[in-house]
Structure 1
Amino acid sequence: MSGFALHLLRHGAPETPGLLMGRTDGAPIAEGIAACVAQARDLGIERLIASGLHRSHAAGEAIGAALGLPLLIDPRWRELDFGDWDGKAASAIDRDALGRFWDDPDANPPAGGERWSALVARVSAAIADLPPVPTLIVTHGGAMRAALHALCGFDQRQLWAFDLSYSTLLSLRVWRGEPPSAQIAGLTP
């Protein structure tokens, strides 16, 4: 079995970068949307999905218009909910609490926020529901890391080693199974 291509594209830069933006949404800048469209242009995808948050939805709409594909919305691909920290700059958050979170986000979620394991569970469910056709998902850095954990088995420290800046494209070859698995085919900033 040859598997299928799964491309995960982080949304373009928002108007206010540098914030912990989970459920907090922000408008993307035009250059960020254009960068996403450029990343998607030659992927040969048959299916296009976005998380539904405006910063990913806007890029998904532009990509769909450029490629002549309908955009499907799947909220399971949204970013981790940062709870009380959502929409704040890291500098506005207690340093020790933030350090504990980055060290172990499942054991130390933000107050009122989502556990890492919940993010992994919803992204894993979204992956399991994908048909085996070349697919592009316009999503968020946390969801991309959750997919890498679920599909490739990377642990928490390894996941932070990936630079997933705005408009980064992560390409995977996915094989069905219990659980599904994948191989990284490319990472394009």
Structure 2
Amino acid sequence: MSGFLLHLMRHGPPETPGRLMGRTDGEPTAEGIAACVEQVSELAFDAIIASDLRRAALAAQAIAAARNLPVRTDPRWRELDFGAWDGLPTSQVEPSAIGRFWEDPDRFPPPGGERWSSLVARVSSALEEMPACQTLVVTHGGAIRAALASLLGFDQRQLWAFDLPCGAVLSLRIRQGTPPSAQIMGLWQ
């Protein structure tokens, strides 16, 4: 089968878990960074791309240092912007409002936040410019789900139905084309 492997890794746990940390640039835990390095120790890749938010970028930098590879940051791999909810624990968001968001994030985006379709569009743009080599992308749960929507056609309900914990890695075989397509190779937690 032609193509290349793309490994999508969710960053390790942030110092302030349990919050809607979209564009909030929270610090990762040292343990989370070390766990990310360990999680990919057996994977082969020639390039590393990361969201420019610290919780992803610092993990990518630690992985890159262990492999003697450069890191390219790309803001298109950022998490969904939760607008007025960004940085808040879900308990501080009005329950019916967040319920509507989880039910239909395009129709009911967070106040001042980003629509789901916007996240999918920017991640799709990043995927279209992906180097055709084995690549690790250190990013966020929402961006990984957006990549799956773009590459495999999963709808939002399907994407919310599976757990994607901090430090998880999803490996895909990418077939080049317009648009690119993929086959799931594995999920490691």
Global fold match (TM > 0.5): yes
Write the distance in 1 (CA, Å) between the matches of 2:50 and 2:66: 15
Aligned pairs (5 A) from 1:99-118: 99-118=99-118
Cα deviation code 1:13-54 (max 9, x no counterpart): 011100000111111111100111011212110000110100
Contact 1:41 1:67 in 2 (8 A): no
The aligned counterpart of 1:130 is 130
**Structure 1 residue identity aligned to 2:75:** P
Write the distance in 2 (CA, Å) between the matches of 1:51 and 1:155: 23
Write the distance in 2 (CA, Å) between the matches of 1:95 and 1:174: 38
Cα deviation code 1:70-93 (max 9, x no counterpart): 011001000000000000011100
The aligned counterpart of 1:58 is 58
**Structure 1 residue identity aligned to 2:22:** G
Q: Give the number of equivalent residue pairs.
A: 189
SS in 2 for 1:91: helix
The aligned counterpart of 1:28 is 28
Contact 1:173 1:185 in 2 (8 A): yes
Query: Which is worse superposed, 36-45 or 7-16?
Result: 36-45
Aligned pairs (5 A) from 1:1-189: 2-189=2-189
**Structure 1 residue identity aligned to 2:134:** P
How far did 1:178 drift? Answer: 2.2
Structure 1 moving runs of 4+ over 6 Å: none
Write the distance in 1 (CA, Å) between the matches of 2:163 and 2:175: 24
Cα deviation code 1:84-139 (max 9, x no counterpart): 00000111001111011001101100010000011000000000001110000000
Write the distance in 2 (CA, Å) between the matches of 1:128 and 1:41: 27
**Aligned-residue RMSD, C-alpha:** 0.8
Unaligned runs of 5+ in 2: none
SS in 2 for 1:101: helix
Cα deviation code 1:55-76 (max 9, x no counterpart): 0011011000011100110010
